[in-house]
Structure 1
Amino acid sequence: MTTRSLSDLSESRIQQLLAFDRLLNIMDDLRAQCPWDKKQTIQSLRHLTIEETYELSDAIMENDLPEIKKELGDILLHIVFYAKIASETNDFEIKDILHGICDKLIVRHPHIYGDGSGQPVIAETEEQVKQNWEQIKLKEGNKSVLGGVPASLPALVKAMRIQEKARGAGFDWEEKQQVWEKVEEEMQEFKEHFNADDNSVIDQEKAEGEFGDLLFSLVNYARFIDINPETALERTNKKFIKRFTYLETQSRADGKQLHEMTLAEMDEYWNKAKTL
């Protein structure tokens, strides 16, 4: 793949590059002149970057495009900030980041750019692309297909990524009915060992393990029917918060206190909230 010269660029692309150049120049100014920006390190920015990522996630969940644009700008600033700090110690700079991701994308898409062998690489479906991707990553030095799953991912997201990675290596159920049967099997095992009607003492460690198996199988089924379990659960969280907030607000407006209300009284407000 060749690199184009500036004379080959469209006006739109030139404006994009000028906008990026403006951000780089502002970052140079801030790093040189602002007491707060001068003090930051790669380590000190970490928790702020995590916060910005979650804010972007919230905006995406709400499909708030103006807010998505704003949060993407904040994350882009962080990328430029990390690059600026690293450039001061001659470890890397922004062009190294950009060339690095470009090189990786070219290598990871041999069905578009070729693999250097002169032989065509075929990937006509999404699944073929994913399988090629995982094989290439193993050639790059990954010792396991699952090695690319970050250890610090939230458990629900991690379960989804683990299953996707395993599928990319060909390890997966063939039919969604098989997956649902596994869900029912795990549910039955959980019910048999931890019957809610039985007041006997529960082995918490074993219960946790069985419940984890049940959740993992549900995530697996969600994947088979193209549902992102993290998104689904977050939408339910937001729905619960909205309804519970209505319960609090309206009962307070009626002169009632939650801790003094019966569950039946609360349900009246809850059912009203469901109609909104």
Structure 2
Amino acid sequence: MTSFSPQDTNDKVGSSSESALSELLSIMRTLRDPKHGCDWDKQQTFASIVPYTIEEAYEVADAIDKGDMADIRDELGDLLFQVVFYAQMAQEQEAFAFDDVVKGICAKLRRRHPHIFADESGSVASVEKGQWEKIKAQERMAAGKSTDNSILAHVPKGMSPLLRAQKLQQKCAKSGFDWPELQPVLDKLQEEIEEVMAEVDAPNPEQAAIEDEIGDVLFSVVNLARHVNVDAQTALRRASNKFEQRFRQVELIAQQKGQAVHETSLDELETFWQQAKGLSK
């Protein structure tokens, strides 16, 4: 009788994964082949595919929000392809290869989890408050990167505005620069809304000033979301999805009445909207 162990299963899964990944890397090399590759893929650069990478990340989030595992699998594949794409272009420039990306993240995860992975002596490091940030700071110093010592250093400016606002606030909160209660957060939001209206109602309203005040309102809304443990991006994405679903229902109701939305009065559209809200509950 042939013996069997869980390790056998792990080996088979690992072998299958390596084979699939090798195929993906091979496909990427073919697509970028100077002679026989795809014209579109060959023209791409690091900068040109950034928008696609961001889009794919949002599509992963959307699939997760829907709870569709098949869709999540497909979208994760699209996101993985983006990583492979960057690695292939880097390899062509003799900068780094896909294996270097994998080795780098493996080393980083072990380095940043000393309380999980034993050190050379075999003991497990104790976890200190703020240890994660300390380790990241040590990594930046070792790499000779910026010595910016601000609490807000290294919050990428390329993040989506909502996420960046949230990150900046979280960084400040960790240093104690934060309201301990909800009421001041609400008061600040109301204050910012009033300042928007003051600019809008000014004798000679300035668009730049209105924009500035609306920015403050949005920043305050993110702060409110953070204080009640809500992810602002997730909340806005779901609100947008809900709006889309209801507006599509409004269009359907209008169509059933032989009307087009642009030909329907605002009062009647409001009636349709309330009907759509009732249907979506």
Per the normalisation by structure 1, the TM-score is 0.80
For 2:9, give the aligned amino acid: E
Matches within 5 A, 1:128-207: 128=129, 131-139=130-138, 140-141=140-141, 142=146, 143=148, 144-191=150-197, 193-194=198-199, 198=201, 200-207=203-210
Q: CA RMSD in A?
A: 3.0
Q: Which runs of 4+ in 1 moved over 6 A?
A: 114-119
Is 1:121 the equivalent of 2:126? Answer: yes
> For residues 175 and 115 of structure 1, do their structure 2 counterparts lie closer, same or farther at Cα, with a shift above 3 Å needed?
farther
1:122-158 alpha-carbon deviations (Å, 9 max, x no partner): 34xxxx4xx3222332332352433332212221121
SS of corresponding position for 2:38: helix
* Alpha-carbon separation, structure 1, partners of 2:247 and 2:136: 46
Does the CA-based 8 Å contact 1:243-1:274 persist in structure 2?
A: yes
> For residues 19 and 119 of structure 1, do their structure 2 counterparts lie closer, same or farther at Cα, with a shift above 3 Å needed?
closer
For 1:161, give the aligned amino acid: K
Q: Which residue of 2 aligns with 1:3?
A: none
* Alpha-carbon separation, structure 2, partners of 1:210 and 1:258: 33
Q: Give the drift of 1:20.
A: 3.1
SS of corresponding position for 2:116: helix
> For residues 146 and 27 of structure 1, do their structure 2 counterparts lie closer, same or farther at Cα, with a shift above 3 Å needed?
same
Is 1:35 the equivalent of 2:37? Answer: yes
> For residues 93 and 219 of structure 1, do their structure 2 counterparts lie closer, same or farther at Cα, with a shift above 3 Å needed?
same
What is the aligned counterpart of 1:208 among 211, 215, 218? Answer: 211
For 2:233, give the aligned amino acid: E
Q: Which residue of 1 aligns with 2:248?
A: 245
For 1:104, give the aligned amino acid: K
Structure 1's unaligned 5+ residue stretches are 1-6
Matches within 5 A, 1:227-266: 227-266=230-269
1:223-267 alpha-carbon deviations (Å, 9 max, x no partner): 111111111111111111111112122212211233332222112
Does the CA-based 8 Å contact 2:162-2:232 persist in structure 1?
A: yes
> For residues 165 and 14 of structure 1, do their structure 2 counterparts lie closer, same or farther at Cα, with a shift above 3 Å needed?
farther
Per the normalisation by structure 2, the TM-score is 0.79
| Greater RCO (Cα-Cα under 8 Å, separation 6 or more) | 1
* Alpha-carbon separation, structure 2, partners of 1:203 and 1:161: 30
SS of corresponding position for 1:185: helix
> For residues 17 and 149 of structure 1, do their structure 2 counterparts lie closer, same or farther at Cα, with a shift above 3 Å needed?
farther
* Alpha-carbon separation, structure 1, partners of 2:257 and 2:246: 16
Deviates more, 1:65-74 or 1:138-147: 138-147
For 1:25, give the aligned amino acid: E
Does the CA-based 8 Å contact 1:107-1:115 persist in structure 2?
A: no
> How high is the sequence identity, in percent, across the aligned residues?
37
